[in-house]
């Protein structure tokens, strides 16, 4: 028997922001390992429907929710559990990055950008975890939050993004302790630059070479590399990593 093979047969998973990029890769790996997946989307219904229909196995669903709305965020895991017949795995992947230069925007514009970013990137994951708690399987429940290198190195052009991801790190560590007695494991994954459709404009633009050069590998991470770390985190084979923050940034930023 292959000791690193992952079998998620019978497991039910909700992946926020699952219609594209990292989220789509996570959905595909989870489904490929046997899980039934709820693919959350914000506005891309057709894309989420297509992803759900194309996943390995059967029973997958696409669920829409505007995560800026706290009620929609809180209700999402219950809807997923109802649609899937339970919930074992939650991946908080959805997030937004909105530049908001504190030196150039007026106070109202800056506050609006700050509020939107915190709502989607930090408040929504907290509400989703809370909403998932009655449904997550005891003893084998797994929560993975997708954070960012920006939580550590800062985001001067989008400070709310860096602050939200730093808060997400702290949230994950706090809940890893709080939920351990229930047998629920919480891991945070912190990528650097990842090649996705959202980053194409940056990576193919004038700054692309400099971005790739941030890593001694000379490249960015792939969506599949991030998803593979998530797969290990929910596999049940490495549950002692609960409370951990796992960097996936190609040594572009090293922290002690």
Catalytic residue among 41, 97, 161, 202: 161
Residues 6+ apart with CB under 8 A from 237: 3, 4, 6
Return d(Cα 91, Cα 18) in angstroms, integer: 9
CA angle 63, 67, 71 (to 5 degrees): 90
Return d(Cα 185, Cα 91) in angstroms, integer: 12
Q: Which helix (H) or strand (E) holds 39?
A: strand 36-41
Q: Is 161 a catalytic residue?
A: yes
Nearest to 152 by CA among 225, 218, 245: 245
| Helices of type H across 96-191 | 107-118, 124-132, 150-153, 159-179
Return d(Cα 14, Cα 90) in angstroms, integer: 5
Tokens 């339970």, residue? 86
Strands 61-64 and 36-41: parallel
Walk across the sheet containing 61-64 and list its strands: 61-64, 36-41, 12-15, 89-92, 141-146, 184-191, 245-248
Which of the residues are catalytic?
161
């Amino acid at each position: 028997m292959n000791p690193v093979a992952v079998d998620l047969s019978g497991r039910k998973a909700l992946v926020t922001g699952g219609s594209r990029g990292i989220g789509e890769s996570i959905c595909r790996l989870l489904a490929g390992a046997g899980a039934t997946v709820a693919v959350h989307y914000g506005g891309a219904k057709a894309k989420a429907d297509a992803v759900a229909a194309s996943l390995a196995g059967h029973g997958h669903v696409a669920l829409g929710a505007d995560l800026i709305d706290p009620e929609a965020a809180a209700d999402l895991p219950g809807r997923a559990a109802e649609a899937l017949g339970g919930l074992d795995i939650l991946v908080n992947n959805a997030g937004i990055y909105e530049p908001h230069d504190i030196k150039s925007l007026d106070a109202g514009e800056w506050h609006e950008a700050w509020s939107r970013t915190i709502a989607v990137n930090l408040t929504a994951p907290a509400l989703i975890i809370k909403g998932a708690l009655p449904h997550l399987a005891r003893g084998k429940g797994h929560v993975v939050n997708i954070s960012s290198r920006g939580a550590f190195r800062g985001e001067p052009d989008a400070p709310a993004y860096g602050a939200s991801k730093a808060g997400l790190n702290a949230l994950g560590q706090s809940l890893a302790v709080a939920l351990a007695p229930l047998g629920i494991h919480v891991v945070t994954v912190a990528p650097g630059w990842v090649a996705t459709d959202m980053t194409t404009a940056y990576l193919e633009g004038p700054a692309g070479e400099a971005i790739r050069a941030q890593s001694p590998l000379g490249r960015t991470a792939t969506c599949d590399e991030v998803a593979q770390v998530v797969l290990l985190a929910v596999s049940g084979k490495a549950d002692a990593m609960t409370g951990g923050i796992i960097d996936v940034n190609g040594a572009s930023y090293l922290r002690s």
